[in-house]
Structure 1
């Protein structure tokens, strides 16, 4: 925590009359810090951040993904599963039917001009059966929804594909359409 010990006042050649009470400034900084912390309901541990960075900077020539879940008991995220050399449809089949996930996907994209790139896409896997007894608890869905922007910032991904209807909603066409959209 920073401490301020000086009282700021105008110099002789300054026409403004002002002063800053350091205790007020410290209180404002403390309040700002507390509010900043309270907006994050779920923590992203350093091992998850490291796994996301490693995934981002790995050169690959095939589709790959990393799935991250929220651990409700600890209010933190954890790497759930990593996928290498699998199609998007195969990845979709392996994701849980009734529990939300953040899926960072690297996928070969063929552009109209013949270029090939491997952009990243965040899949917001929000599949939930609200009527089934085995459906994801509403608390988990709420934590997932409230943490999306924070996860997106940490993962450094610009585009997000929302998937709410299971494996049927996640296929190569949906991913390509999202990545090619302006």
Structure 2
């Protein structure tokens, strides 16, 4: 097993695990944002500033920095066209085009490790805040 530059503190791992388990029963959208500390390379949960739970695309976008990438985990329950209740776990890689190259490289280096850690049903890359307007359509594809 190879060593990784990036680490998941116990608190982050527990937060991801709890979200994964509770999101399977969620009745509405929930999202969590994760950042990487550029000094320690630790992946950390980003506590929302305005509300305890991010439960809309709008509240999610408000919490995102304009010029720094982030990893986002979303649970988005919906009813499919054939009437089935769907609740995919979605991993969104937000990398604004205005980000500095160092930040983009920092997050790109951890992307596969984060994907493996959360085992999401769907992976979506977003380069601009305006792309969040189409996020629901991409989740339902």
Alpha-carbon spacing, 1:97–1:118, altered in 2? closer, same or farther (3 Å): same
- Deviation, 1:85, is 5.8
Distance 1:44 1:137 in 2: 23
Matched residue, 1:177: 137
The answer to whether the aligner puts 1:80 opposite 2:40 as a matched pair is: no
- Conserved? CA contact 1:159–1:178, under 8 Å: no
Q: TM-score, normalization: structure 2? A: 0.86
Distance 1:85 1:158 in 2: 20
- Deviation, 1:95, is 1.0
Matched residue, 2:106: 143
Matched residue, 1:10: none
- Deviation, 1:86, is 2.5
Greater relative CO, 1 or 2 (CA 8 Å, sep 6+) = 2
- What does 1:102-117 align with in structure 2 at a 5 Å threshold? 102-117=71-86
Report the 3-state secondary structure (helix = DSSP H, G, I; strand = E; otherwise coil) of the residue aligned with 1:122: strand
- What does 1:45-124 align with in structure 2 at a 5 Å threshold? 45-58=9-22, 59-82=25-48, 84=53, 86-124=55-93
Distance 1:61 1:87 in 2: 12
Distance 1:128 1:80 in 2: 21
CA RMSD of aligned residues (A): 1.8
Report the 3-state secondary structure (helix = DSSP H, G, I; strand = E; otherwise coil) of the residue aligned with 1:84: coil
> How many residue pairs align between the two structures?
136
- Runs (4+) of structure 1 exceeding 6 A deviation are none
Residue by residue over 1:37-81, the C-alpha shift from the partner in whole angstroms, topping out at 9 and shown as x without a partner, is 1xx332122211110000011132111111000000111111013
Q: TM-score, normalization: structure 1? A: 0.68
Structure 2 segments unaligned to the other structure (5+ residues) = none
